[in-house]
Amino acid sequence: MKLQSITLKNFRQFKGTQDFDLTSDKLKPVTLLFGANGAGKTTLLNAFTWGLYGNMSEDVEQQDRMVTDSSWRALPVGDSIEVAVEVRFDHEGQDYRLLRSATLRKESDDQGPISAQLQLWTTKADGSSEVSHAPQETILSILPVGVSRFFFFNGERIENLVKKGAYAEVQKDIKVLLDLEQVERAIANLPRVNRRLTDDLKKHGGATASAIQDAIDSLTDRQAKAKDDLKVVDANLAELDEERSRTEDLLRQHAEAAPIQAERDAVTKELEEARAARDAALNERKVLVATRGFQAFTGTLGEATKTMAETLYQKGALPAPLKREFVDKLLDEGACICGTPLAKHTDSWEHVKEWRQRAGLQAVETAWQRVSGQIAPLADAREGLREALATLMNRIGIERERVARLEARKSELDGKLKDNRMEGVQNLETKRLDLEGRIAVKNQRKGSIETELLNVVKEIEQKTKERSRAQVTDELANKARSRSDLVTSVKRALEEILAIREEDMRLRLDAELKAVFKSITHQAHVPTLSEGFELTLHKNVNGVELPVPKSTGENQILSLSFVAAVSKLAREIRRERRAEGAGAEDAGTFPIVMDAAFGSLDQDYQEAVSRALAKMAPQLVVLVSKSQGLGRVVTELLPYVSHLGVIETHTTAAGQVADDIELEGMSYPYIRSAETDHSELKVIK
């Protein structure tokens, strides 16, 4: 999907009909638009989502006021006015023209809710055009609404992607984008198919098979309910964790509580480090005991072996004066090395045979030589094991003491906040403690559900084996059982395929995330995309991986890096499919339209993000204010800009409000006094 243009008609701040060209190429993929605060940058961003999906983001206030205020006020009561957004784009070899519009009749000064209509026209390569009879379905097939969060977003709110409450939705949308949802849908549909098959088995399979199948059905229902319950608990945990974070933020902002909360934050961070260090030492001890623990019990064995060897030496058995294999050869050949014949049962033969009993086996002596070479170092190994264990026990003791001390200090700080004389502080801390308790209860519930799921899976497997052994004489029931077994096998195979593909996608996404993040930040932090699609930051401190508390700026960079990684991987997936003979050349290509891309970033980060932006996607529409976009940002982006524009603000505010913006050595109107409040899209190049 590549944007070609957008046209607005009486759409909120944008009075009359205004359009802007968005075409771009690989060398210059960026469209850069400047606008003052309130000029309509967020409105323009939402014009895309309203045109595509008929909705706008939650941060848009008074969403019923769709028509430009000045145009609505000037409209006589009883007359009508049109509001519309037209978006032209191309996708997989076809050109599209999308028009979402509504006509409002003025009944009063207040604008009422609108009922917009969507139309979609397709123009093929030969120039022929046709109307889509299912326009919204077509749009959703091109870019599902959930996936659009990665391509149309407000930079100041993009950090929502790293909030715990977003992980489940993000994971779901990523699966859609990366072609994993088809497998999930198949897995979800198979139990319904299986239930229809097993109905025949229960009807015609006899009492035993029917009872077993009833048990399997009951277990399957329990499994489905447990999975649903687990999703609910995970969502609740995410909400509670977010609420706890907000409560702690309020404590940090409270003048009375701030110093205590700051110390508690520091203690909590150190406590996490101490626990991590303690657990690392405990794990090292576990590995040491598992791999070298046997050495502690080799002292007596080594001494006994050494004593036995000395006895054999004293008897002359070690080293053996000759080898048994050599004596056997003499007896078989019937002649001694001195030439004396060795006929069986003669005195000479008996004499040589006596030497055979004293001779040593080559394999035994070789084994002894190998063992004897290891007896001496065993003492050193035991001493090394003793020293290593002593060192680890000392580390474990130190970290345990540190954990206990920090836990006690944290408890003291909790008490100070809970017993604070300021009622507001007390209430906040009481709320935080309540949230801690509720989170603990939810975690216990989660563990219980996960255990139940494991047990149910084992029971289903056992019952399925019993069903396969049950005697069934009815042919229809036997076929139903065979087909049910086949469906179960297919479901299991699909689940394994999904797990493999999902993990492969996650690892690829994680690797790309790390690469993009590293190119932007100057911090030695490493981002990670967990198995649950949780975005986290950590750092390595003396070999221990510790979480990094994320600031607003770091959240924004982490989210931007994630968006860039998603965009790139989506294109790679589609290219891989195209190599297999499916898909168009631009499959997996989506634009990124971003408002306030630089949010609260400092100048160094603004420059780094600007450099990365041009590489994020094949097409970028960047909406920035003068304060955000001038300087390093515009310097970095201009070489990649195909279209440069200004959202010119017209205001009725009194006083000297006029302002200009200087771009490429030229001055352009930025804010102007006017008789009505509205904005205009102005093309600079």
Q: What is the 3-state secondary structure (H, E, C) of 480-502?
A: HHHHHHHHHHHHHHHHHHHHHHH
Residue 322: predicted pLDDT = 47
Q: Which of 460, 573, 469, 434 is nearest to 512 (CA)?
A: 573
- Which residue in the block uniquely carries the two structure tokens 């072609």? 179
The amino acid that residue 442 corresponds to is K
The interaxial angle of helices 181-204 and 475-520, nearest 10 deg, is: 160
Other residues' Cβ atoms within 10 Å of the Cβ of residue 363: 10
Residue 315: predicted pLDDT = 52
The amino acid that residue 303 corresponds to is E
The amino acid that residue 651 corresponds to is T
Q: ∠100-102-106 over CA atoms, to 5°?
A: 160
Q: Which of helix, strand or coil describes residue 366?
A: helix
Residue 543: predicted pLDDT = 65
Residue 124 · residue 140 · CB < 8 Å: no
End-to-end CA distance of the chain: 23
Token digits of residue 608: 């780094």
Token digits of residue 649: 């603000």
Residue 590: predicted pLDDT = 85
- Which residue in the block uniquely carries the two structure tokens 């599209």? 96
- Mean pLDDT by groups of 10 residues along the chain of 685 residues: 94 94 91 90 93 85 86 92 95 90 91 90 80 92 83 72 63 72 79 82 83 89 91 87 85 86 88 90 92 82 67 53 64 79 83 67 55 68 88 94 93 88 86 92 94 93 88 82 86 85 86 86 82 78 66 74 82 66 63 79 75 79 84 83 94 88 89 92 91
Q: Which of helix, strand or coil describes residue 514?
A: helix
Residue 488: predicted pLDDT = 85
Residues 6 or more apart whose CB falls under 8 angstroms from that of 65 comprise 12, 72, 111
